C-alpha cells in the first residue's frame, strides 16, 4: 500500500517531533504493509509560519530520514509532497516544486475546518485550467461538507479529486467525520486514502484497519485508492474517477427496484 498523506519528517511542521519518532512511525507503516509514504508537509499554513518550509530543505530532510530508515532495516520509501493550505494564490505558488506532485499535475489542498471561503471554487477552477488538478485533503472533516455532501459532487464534477483520512473511517475525528467518509465511499466520491499520520501515539499510521472498513463498502476497489491512484499521482498520470452513485434512500431504492423489475418484464 501507499500512504498518500502524512507528516513523517521530524521537526518540520506539527508532525513527528524527533528522528526516533519518525523511525517508529515508519516501522508501524511497514508492519501494516505500507511500502511507500508520501510526506505532505504543511505549506503556507499559519501553524508553520516563520518555519523553513522550502523545497531544498524538505528534500534534504527526506534524504536524511530515508538514510536512517535504511540503516535501521526499515523498507519504506519516502516521497516528497506538501499539503497546501488554501489561500487565493494557488496558481501563483504552483511554480514552487514543493507544492505540486507529478511535475505539476496535482496539488493537495486543505481548508479551515469550519469555513470554505468565498470564491474558493473559482480559484480551484483557475488551478484546473492552468493544468494542475486539485486534490482536496480530508473533505469529510469540513463542517460545510458534513452538512451538504453535494459540495463534494460539485467539486468532483468540476474536475477535483478527493482524499479522505483513514482516521475518519476509524472514528478518530468523531461520528460526523466517520459518517461523511462512509457516505463518500458509498457514492464513489473518494480517489485516495491517507493516514494523515502526525506521531506514533494517537495520530500514527492507521491505513491497514481503515482499508478493511473501506473494503466492506467498496470491495476490491479500495486497492485502487491505496495503490493505483497514489502511484499515478507520484508519476503525474491521469486518475480515472468512478461514476458517482446516488445516496441510497428509501425513495430512490424503491424507484431503482421498480425500474429493474420493469426492465426484466420488457
> What CATH number has the domain bearing residue 174?
3.20.20.140
Grid cell of 69 as nine digits: 530508515
Domain with 96 in it: 2-265
- Report pTM: 0.90
- What is the per-residue pLDDT for 241? 74
- What is the per-residue pLDDT for 246? 67
> Look-up: residue for cell 470491495?
219
Q: What mean pLDDT is predicted for residues 45-59?
A: 90
Residues constituting the chain:
266
Whether the CB-CB separation of 157 and 129 falls below 8 Å is answered with: no
Average pLDDT, the chain: 91
Predicted confidence band of residue 86 (pLDDT cuts 50, 70, 90):
very high
Whether the CB-CB separation of 207 and 34 falls below 8 Å is answered with: yes
Among 47-56, 96-105, 171-180, the minimum mean pLDDT is found in: 47-56
Check pLDDT > 70 for residue 251. Answer: no
For residue range 137-179, what is the model confidence (pLDDT) as tens digits? 999 999 999 999 999 999 999 999 999 999 999 999 999 999 9
How far apart are the C-alpha atoms of 115 and 129, rounded to whole Å? 24
Give the residue with greater pLDDT, 3 vs 264.
Answer: 3
Per the structure, how many domains does the chain have? 1
Amino acid at each position: 500500500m501507499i500512504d498518500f498523506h502524512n507528516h513523517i519528517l521530524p521537526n518540520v511542521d506539527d508532525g513527528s517531533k524527533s528522528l526516533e519518532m519518525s523511525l517508529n512511525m515508519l516501522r508501524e507503516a511497514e508492519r501494516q504493509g505500507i511500502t511507500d509514504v508520501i510526506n505532505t508537509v504543511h505549506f503556507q499554513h499559519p501553524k508553520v509560519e516563520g518555519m523553513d518550509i522550502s523545497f531544498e530543505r524538505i528534500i534534504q530532510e527526506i534524504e536524511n530520514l530515508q538514510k536512517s530508515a535504511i540503516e535501521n532495516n526499515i523498507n519504506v520509501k519516502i516521497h516528497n509532497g506538501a499539503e497546501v493550505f488554501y489561500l487565493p494564490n494557488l496558481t501563483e505558488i504552483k511554480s514552487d516544486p514543493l507544492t505540486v506532485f507529478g511535475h505539476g499535475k496535482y496539488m493537495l489542498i486543505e481548508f479551515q475546518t469550519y469555513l470554505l471561503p468565498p470564491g474558493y471554487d473559482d480559484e480551484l477552477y483557475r488551478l484546473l485550467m492552468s493544468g494542475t488538478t486539485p486534490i482536496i485533503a480530508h473533505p469529510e472533516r469540513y463542517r460545510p461538507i458534513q452538512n451538504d455532501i453535494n459540495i463534494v459532487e460539485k467539486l468532483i464534477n468540476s474536475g477535483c479529486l478527493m482524499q479522505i483520512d483513514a482516521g475518519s473511517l476509524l472514528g478518530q475525528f468523531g461520528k460526523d467525520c466517520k459518517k461523511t467518509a462512509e457516505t463518500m465511499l458509498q457514492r464513489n466520491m473518494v480517489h485516495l486514502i491517507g493516514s494523515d499520520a502526525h506521531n506514533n501515539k494517537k495520530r500514527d499510521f492507521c491505513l491497514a484497519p481503515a482499508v478493511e472498513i473501506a473494503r466492506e463498502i467498496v470491495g476490491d476497489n479500495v486497492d485502487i485508492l491505496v495503490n493505483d491512484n497514489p502511484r499515478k499521482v507520484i508519476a503525474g498520470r491521469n486518475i480515472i474517477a468512478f461514476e458517482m452513485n446516488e445516496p441510497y434512500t428509501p425513495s430512490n431504492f424503491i424507484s431503482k427496484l421498480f425500474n429493474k423489475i420493469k426492465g426484466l418484464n420488457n
